[in-house]
Amino acid sequence: MSVQVQVMDQGQLNKMQALLAGIPNGTERAAQSAMQRAVSHLRTNSAKAIQEKYDISTANIRANENVNIRYTYQDGVQAFVTFAGGKIPLFRYGGASPGAPTYDQSQLVPMMIRGQWRMAHPGVPAHGHQRKDTAPALFEYAFVARMASGHVGIFERTGSGSRSGGDAIAEIMGGTVPGMLGRDEVKEKLGEQAAEKYMERYHHEVTRLLNGWGG
């Protein structure tokens, strides 16, 4: 989802460009530095908005999010704030258990493993949730497993006869960053806050450049 925000009108932009006319690439330098701060501000605020309702760490949000700000200089400065990102594995939310692959040593069940039926210890049923207002739920037929790549997640068997040990498995996923941010009004507010931070830093960078602090 992309939110459009008016950052500066044409009159404000003209004034800034006039102030920096004697500094090589002054407008672009100030804009680039301000944008970096605005993106950092946006990432922090979007994580806080998600964590109001969802049980997930900032690190796990950032590992799966793509938030950025793009600017165009037409009739002033227009900011386009984009929220994107794929589904986050359920294992990365708080409350997921067990915390590592764990097997029920008390029983052996037939399982299709690499194309052959074998007797093996089944994985301990996994628990997980997303929202803070819910307790972790039991996923009776799901288990925590580590893939050859080293990735750990909560998986369930999806192959033929999966309840008794089908070969194919699929990871159970949670929501996306745009989805967890919720209503469009929340995203628009975050976009406006990022634009305000951009302008705050832009004025600061202009002052630095005019005083010769920016090199």
Count structural domains, the chain.
2
Which has more confidence, 154 or 114?
154
Which residue range forms the structural domain that includes residue 154?
90-171
Q: What is the average pLDDT across 103-127? A: 87
Cα dist from 174 to 68, 129, 134, whole Å: 22, 8, 14
Task: Answer yes or no: do 163 and 187 share one domain.
Answer: no
**Is residue 215 included in any domain, yes or no?**
no
**Is residue 201 included in any domain, yes or no?**
yes
Task: Answer yes or no: do 167 and 94 share one domain.
Answer: yes
Cα dist from 7 to 37, 74, 84, 119, whole Å: 15, 11, 22, 64
Residue type, 43: R
**Is residue 189 included in any domain, yes or no?**
yes
**Is residue 119 included in any domain, yes or no?**
yes
E strand spans, 97-179: 109-113, 116-120, 125-128, 137-146, 152-157, 169-171
Q: What is the average pLDDT across 186-205? A: 91
What secondary structure does DSSP assign to 66-85, as a single string? EEEEEEEESSSEEEEEEEE-
E strand or H helix at 12: helix 10-19
- The distance in angstroms from the start CA to the end CA of the chain is 37
**Nearest by Cα to 67 from 41, 88, 34, 93:** 41
Q: What is the average pLDDT across 135-140? A: 95
Task: Answer yes or no: do 135 and 195 share one domain.
Answer: no
**Nearest by Cα to 177 from 53, 73, 88:** 88
Q: What is the average pLDDT across 165-177? A: 85
Lowest mean pLDDT segment, chosen from 20-34, 73-87, 151-165, 173-187: 151-165
Rounded Cα distance between 200 and 5, Å, is 15
Task: Answer yes or no: do 182 and 130 share one domain.
Answer: no
